[in-house]
Structure 1
Amino acid sequence: MTIDLSQLDQDQLQAAIAPRGPVAILAGAGTGKTRTITYRIAHLIDQGLISPQRVLAVTFTARAAGEMRDRLRAMGTLGVQARTFHAAARRQLRYFWPQAYGDLPWQLIENKFSLVARAVRAAGLDASTENVRDILGEIEWAKACCFTPYDYVVEIGKTKRTPPVAVEKIQAVYEKYEQTKQSGDTFLLDFDDLLIHTAAILENSPPIAEEFREQYRSFVVDEYQDVTPLQQRLLKAWLGERDDLTIVGDANQTIYSFTGADPAFLLNFSREYPHATVVKLQRDYRSTPQVVELANTVISKAVGRAAGTRLELQGMQKPGPEPEYHAYDDEPTEAREIAGQILTLLKNGVPAREIAVLYRVNAQSAVFEKALSDAGIVYQVRGGEGFFQRPEIRKAIAQIMRASQVGGVPGDDVGEQVRAILAPLGLTSTEPSGTQARERWQLLNALADLADDLAQSNPSLTLAGLLAELQARAESRQPPTVEGVTLASFHAAKGLEWDAVFLVGLVENTLPISFAIKAGDAHIEEERRLFYVGITRARRHLHLSWAYARQEGARSTRKRTRFLDGIVPELSGAEVPERAPRSPRCRVCGRPLLVATERVLGRHEDCPVEMEAAIFDQLRAWRLETARENHVPPYIVFTDATLMAIAETLPQDSAELLEISGVGPVKIEKYGESLLALLNNLRA
């Protein structure tokens, strides 16, 4: 079939039809890089310039590889290998190992923690989980940089990297770990070893290299700014003396230097290949001009070598609202206010799956999880990568498998059949109201929606075919979208996008992170790029916020991130004024409340209780009945502390109810009418 190139803009077209040979596509966020490289591959094949079986496309995530395969398949282009570096190396090593090493058996270590822990203990170091993980990360970084145990001590001194323990101890653990893998009858390999041994075989065995290079003639590498020295070594081994290479990258989005990623390979590409075709993609089709303007402003302040190669995005979408900036007294207040803003977006028609809350470190998620849960908002952490590993989904797939084996499932297509199969598991025609039931329903409905989509694209699809497709997606980590707000770190959000994005916790020592501030300018610039990545995840709505204190009533000691200096005018370059501590006061004695449980009660525990025990007992009985009706645990309705506060204050309307900690708009909507009726009877 002929590839229709009319769907591409001028720059995308230039990249797609560039001749074989070195091509660098410098693609900014939202500029259609995946579309461009798939069209390039399809066009080269369509023109007879390359056979699909001779193309190897390399991505950084299994999800991205799966998306590329799906797009190529939709264009009628079959046979192209799209894999991650590790998946490609593993496949090649399985094939070439016998030629290189004979009958020596090898095995991939899926989890190397125990081996590293053993080496840590042998070196006389603390083998706590945290310490072992830190040392394991250091070994992974050394291998990604192509450092042997003997190189490590010398090379670490040339960097500003701070190892978790003395460098000599790291070297000893690293050396012991490598020896342990080779001490048994079976040669043990970790994921980095897949790349190391594949590269070594191609470098040292001309016959094997010749066989491989006969098979693969043309290479495409996505996210080239995040290539490590080890990945670059493997890529060079694949290429040999050839230059049929297309790379795609953006120096503005280099955010993995801590794992060994080196943007120098992208920055030096034109020097390595002086005759290369270089195309810049700067038309942003994802975000509004307002979001794009903020992204450009943030990255324009970058310093260092990469600053000279940055792309300036051009917003192609219709204008939207200006980004919003909010400062809060403390993190719980920030989280509650954001939950309220999310409720407003939901009421205005923005789907929950199109809303994300992004933060710098995973530890920041807890306060937002609580706020969303209290507000009755369904959410998923880190974008739902574990969808196919969820117990509900595993049980559902097992049910589909049993139905496939017995046959006779009612329904005109696979989508209808799947909905019938999943009905006994909780997939009703309408969404239930209970928290747990609703979460299960959301997961099952997402699976059913995926079956509907696959049935629509392939009307002849059977249940057996569906199961094969689900297995492939599980392996490539391509989960369907769950109808819930996403909570994710900036790093985990890379490659994703939403209509509305909340960037939270934007304070110094979090963004930039404290160790980056200590490490110097290069690390701070990576934090700036991480912030830029977060901004460019938003299509239309962008909210940026920070809190001056961690806990309610604590001193306001935090400062807003430096990356907003000169952007938020009223606070530009100025010190945030010291705020007086605000401690809630006991409504009985008037003294400050210093304990969290007392703040919920609104009084000290030793102050006289302003309620009758009978009222509290009746409220608990009402809660139990309400919980049973909604199929949720009683504490989901209201906690004991909240019930106690309600019993003491006896609120007369919704407004007074909302003043009580633990009562939000969603709970008012669900339980308010019934609760206020009970309270009215109690007052009488």
Structure 2
Amino acid sequence: MQVQLPGAQPFPPQDADAVLAGLDPEQRAVATALSGPVCVLAGAGTGKTRAITHRIAYGVRSGVMQPQRVLAVTFTARAAGEMRGRLRQLGAEGVQARTFHSAALRQLQYFWPRVVGGELPRLVERKVQLVAEAAARCRLRLERTELRDLTGEIEWAKVTQTVPEDYPAAARLAGREAPRDPAEIRQVYKVYEELKRDRGVIDFEDVLLLAVGVLEDRAEVAEQVRAQYQHFVVDEYQDVSPLQQRLLDLWLGPRSSLCVVGDASQTIYSFTGATPSYLLGFREKHPDATVVKLVRDYRSTPQVVHLANGLLAQARGRAAAGRLELVSQREAGPDPVYSEYQDEPAEAEGTARKVQALLAAGVRASEIAVLFRINGQSAVYEQALADLGIAYQLRGAERFFERPEVREAGMLLRGAARGSTDPLLDGAPESLAEQVRAVLSTRGFTAQPPSGSGAVRERWESLAALVRLGEEFEAAQSAAGLPADLSAYVTELDARAAAQHAPAVEGVTLASLHSAKGLEWDAVFLVGLTEGMLPITYARTDEQIEEERRLLYVGVTRARAHLGLSWALARSPGGRASRQPSRFLDGLRPGTPARAARGVGGGRGSITEGGSGRGPAAVRRNRAPLKCRVCGRVLTEAVERKLRRCEGCPSELDEGLYERLRDWRGEQARLQSLPAYCVFTDATLVAIAEDAPGSVAELAGIAGVGRAKLDKYGAAVLSLCRGESPDASAPVEGQPEEPDESDDIPDLWDEKDTGENSPEK
């Protein structure tokens, strides 16, 4: 059960001093710091949202701030909705709490007719289709995952204010591992921008870029905005991008009434352009800033907090220097449980059984979460929970208030509230909750849930959430001495819908670590914690590895009391048990000493104490330097080593062979129900198409073609190289395990997971 923060109030306080009642000393310091720049360094679970909403409410109630002159910005619609709900409860209605994008869009819609003329161009909510068309015009055939990664790369370029012509150099400078050749991305990016101009549409990033352009070019517009908003609060400040910071500076102008809140240890969106540099450098930019640290953790037990602190104690880099040592305010709870399984299905089944045990012990399903690194891991856990008859919900699915059954229920409740003569209320009891049940029963709601899972159960869960919300609303209204009738309840529903403040749906949450940011549960299971998954394979630099550590930290700090951490030694039953637990658990789980730092990008095969030293890292150390076959330069980049040439050197690609290889790979992936990169990555296909090997030995010499893949696909690939057509429908025994240890560059897990809760998406 969640710990109630000190002094939490169910209804608006009577005066300014009452707003401060129950705040701890540090939260009170935040709430009363109403002048000048303020920087709040807030650890996970320390009540940062409580502190900044009480600061705004205190400023409004004390007369220092006018609510219409305050703009609070954050990064997701859900977070903005929660902030608006809290401010409303504190009697600070009228304060604008928005995402960066929605605030900028609102301003553009207002000023555009005056400064440009006509209506603002239509906003394209899903740019991926337009990117696909741009790629087709560039004669590029992209798979779904490649298209998504390319779209993300264009988004990164725009939020870092990089124009198409500068993309290759900017990506190289940032150390990004581009999903395609940077020159190809530059061209697709350029054509994408041309398509938008031709069709008179804009994307989400354009909203910020255009807002910046209008404020910079039209001084009178900037002055009007600054006259409207005189006080700014920025939540999750560690996630701002250069473009968002530029817009914030324009909003603020020469003034200093700015309060920022963040935690550098929760920076997990750098792939979108987010950077903690502005948070960590705030004191340098504002020497007179008031800095307050929130370290009292009201969310998690001492056992969970101890693990979280230990995880960050091993961190390196600038962000690590800003880490906060949390102090739990809760009573002791159970120790974190570490579990090792033989394979992924066994891990999923074991996790489902533990979930079942918690449910039997009285923990609500909505207070349990299973978190993983990438969305592709969810299927096996969905199956395991369904096999035990446990309801679940996928985080990032359709918004609650946009679900058809919720919209329909809202209309029924609204109609029923219009008068006591409504047939739905004939003879209705006085209890609000019973009235809500009576209305929803006409659409299939029952006291007991339907058996099984699927759409029927999901519909019931949505209606049950509305019933529980009615019960909670009735209790809160009664405590405040206010009426609790259907009209008031419908008004509450409308306010929540506008704020996207959804009630909890009763089902175990399945979510990626990225999408779990900002959420919390009584029990959290962190699964798939192996080398190559966390840190993920494509995290190679020190900075990327540290971000993966922070991602695990975010996962750990989602748990209030129960925390499980698990990994599987093999992917499928009977597979080679070659996986190793994540290096981030070294020295934290019982019986493991702290290890020396592994080399940059070290993966499954990196040398550890007591290990064999086998694997990619060991193989590379024993080889002579690999040189470009064209210019002779020593190759250091992963893709260059795979191609055995510099990316800029002339290619001898056999395009016909490359197309045949891609078609064959696609068919193999379809037959095995796998992502195409699990057969061979694009870089491996390019290397094969350049070399056109004529023998098994020559094919084995290509990086990415290890023993397992040579046995499985070697004959077919050599047939394609000879111009022959292999039998694409021939059965393939088993599924590819992790890349063979002789591979220089692992083929598995090339997919980048952006997460459903990525900023503004």
Tell me the TM-score normalised to structure 2 length. 0.72
Structural mapping, 1:290-439, within 5 Å = 290-382=303-395, 386-400=399-413, 403=416, 407-410=422-425, 411=428, 412=430, 415-435=433-453, 438-439=457-458
Give the direction of change, closer, same or farther, for the CA distance of 1:105–1:428 in structure 2 (3 Å limit).
closer
Give the direction of change, closer, same or farther, for the CA distance of 1:146–1:566 in structure 2 (3 Å limit).
same
Give a deviation string over 1:87-106, Cα, whole Å, max 9, x none: 11111111111221023652
CA distance in 1, matches of 2:345, 2:100: 42
Give the direction of change, closer, same or farther, for the CA distance of 1:414–1:100 in structure 2 (3 Å limit).
farther
8 Å CA contact 1:383–1:486 kept in 2: the answer is no
CA distance in 1, matches of 2:470, 2:395: 23
Query: Are positions 1:106 and 2:121 aligned together?
Result: yes
CA distance in 2, matches of 1:551, 1:487: 21
Aligned partner of 1:2 in structure 2 is 16
Aligned partner of 2:517 in structure 1 is 494
Question: Which has the higher mean CA deviation after the structures are superposed, 561-570 or 440-449?
Answer: 440-449
Secondary structure at the counterpart of residue 40 of structure 2: strand
How many angstroms does 1:307 deviate by? 1.4
Give the direction of change, closer, same or farther, for the CA distance of 1:307–1:467 in structure 2 (3 Å limit).
same
Aligned partner of 1:123 in structure 2 is 138
- Counterpart of 1:480, as a letter, is P
Query: Are positions 1:441 and 2:452 aligned together?
Result: no
Query: Are positions 1:522 and 2:529 aligned together?
Result: no
CA distance in 2, matches of 1:111, 1:460: 43
Give a deviation string over 1:627-683, Cα, whole Å, max 9, x none: xxxxxxxxxxxxxxxxxxxxxxxxxxxxxxxxxxxxxxxxxxxxxxxxxxxxxxxxx
CA distance in 2, matches of 1:472, 1:164: 42
Residue in structure 2 matching 1:477, options 480, 497, 500:
500
CA distance in 1, matches of 2:120, 2:274: 31
Aligned partner of 1:667 in structure 2 is none
8 Å CA contact 2:84–2:499 kept in 1: the answer is no
8 Å CA contact 2:82–2:499 kept in 1: the answer is no
Give the direction of change, closer, same or farther, for the CA distance of 1:541–1:140 in structure 2 (3 Å limit).
same
How many angstroms does 1:12 deviate by? 1.1
How many angstroms does 1:365 deviate by? 1.1
How many angstroms does 1:501 deviate by? 0.8
Residue in structure 1 matching 2:278, options 238, 249, 265:
265
Residue in structure 1 matching 2:59, options 32, 44, 54:
44
Question: Which has the higher mean CA deviation after the structures are superposed, 124-133 or 318-327?
Answer: 124-133
Give a deviation string over 1:422-467, Cα, whole Å, max 9, x none: 1132212333445455543322111222234345555557756655
Unaligned runs of 5+ in 1: 579-595, 597-684
How many angstroms does 1:259 deviate by? 0.6
Give a deviation string over 1:367-422, Cα, whole Å, max 9, x none: 11111111111111117653334343344334445546783432336543331121
Question: Which has the higher mean CA deviation after the structures are superposed, 496-505 or 561-570?
Answer: 561-570
Give the direction of change, closer, same or farther, for the CA distance of 1:189–1:383 in structure 2 (3 Å limit).
closer
Residue in structure 2 matching 1:566, options 584, 587, 602:
587
8 Å CA contact 1:426–1:440 kept in 2: the answer is no
CA distance in 1, matches of 2:66, 2:158: 34
8 Å CA contact 2:392–2:508 kept in 1: the answer is yes
8 Å CA contact 2:373–2:513 kept in 1: the answer is yes
Secondary structure at the counterpart of residue 563 of structure 2: strand
Question: Which has the higher mean CA deviation after the structures are superposed, 408-417 or 165-174?
Answer: 408-417
CA distance in 2, matches of 1:340, 1:575: 33
CA distance in 2, matches of 1:435, 1:385: 17
CA distance in 1, matches of 2:524, 2:398: 19
8 Å CA contact 2:304–2:563 kept in 1: the answer is yes
Residue in structure 1 matching 2:470, options 440, 445, 451:
451
- Counterpart of 2:126, as a letter, is N
How many percent identity over aligned positions?
53
How many angstroms does 1:128 deviate by? 3.9
Structural mapping, 1:545-624, within 5 Å = 545-572=566-593, 573=595
Give a deviation string over 1:508-565, Cα, whole Å, max 9, x none: 000001101xx31100000000000000011111111111011112110100000011
CA distance in 2, matches of 1:199, 1:431: 51
- Counterpart of 1:525, as a letter, is E
8 Å CA contact 2:40–2:260 kept in 1: the answer is yes
CA distance in 1, matches of 2:282, 2:59: 22
Give a deviation string over 1:20-56, Cα, whole Å, max 9, x none: 1100000000000001001111111222211111000
Give a deviation string over 1:253-304, Cα, whole Å, max 9, x none: 0000011101101111000000000010011011111110100000010001
- Counterpart of 1:354, as a letter, is E
8 Å CA contact 1:546–1:560 kept in 2: the answer is yes
Give a deviation string over 1:202-246, Cα, whole Å, max 9, x none: 111111111111110000000000101111111011011111100
Query: Are positions 1:173 and 2:208 aligned together?
Result: no
How many angstroms does 1:113 deviate by? 2.3
Give the direction of change, closer, same or farther, for the CA distance of 1:479–1:68 in structure 2 (3 Å limit).
same
Give the direction of change, closer, same or farther, for the CA distance of 1:452–1:348 in structure 2 (3 Å limit).
closer
8 Å CA contact 2:299–2:330 kept in 1: the answer is yes
Question: Which has the higher mean CA deviation after the structures are superposed, 171-180 or 128-137?
Answer: 128-137
Give the direction of change, closer, same or farther, for the CA distance of 1:489–1:105 in structure 2 (3 Å limit).
closer
Query: Are positions 1:18 and 2:48 aligned together?
Result: no
Structural mapping, 1:65-144, within 5 Å = 65-103=80-118, 105-144=120-159
8 Å CA contact 1:385–1:479 kept in 2: the answer is no
How many angstroms does 1:352 deviate by? 1.3
8 Å CA contact 2:109–2:120 kept in 1: the answer is no
Aligned partner of 1:676 in structure 2 is none
CA distance in 1, matches of 2:57, 2:305: 30
| Number of equivalent positions | 575
8 Å CA contact 2:389–2:452 kept in 1: the answer is no
8 Å CA contact 1:498–1:538 kept in 2: the answer is yes
8 Å CA contact 1:106–1:189 kept in 2: the answer is yes
Secondary structure at the counterpart of residue 574 of structure 2: coil
CA distance in 1, matches of 2:89, 2:132: 47
- Counterpart of 2:469, as a letter, is L
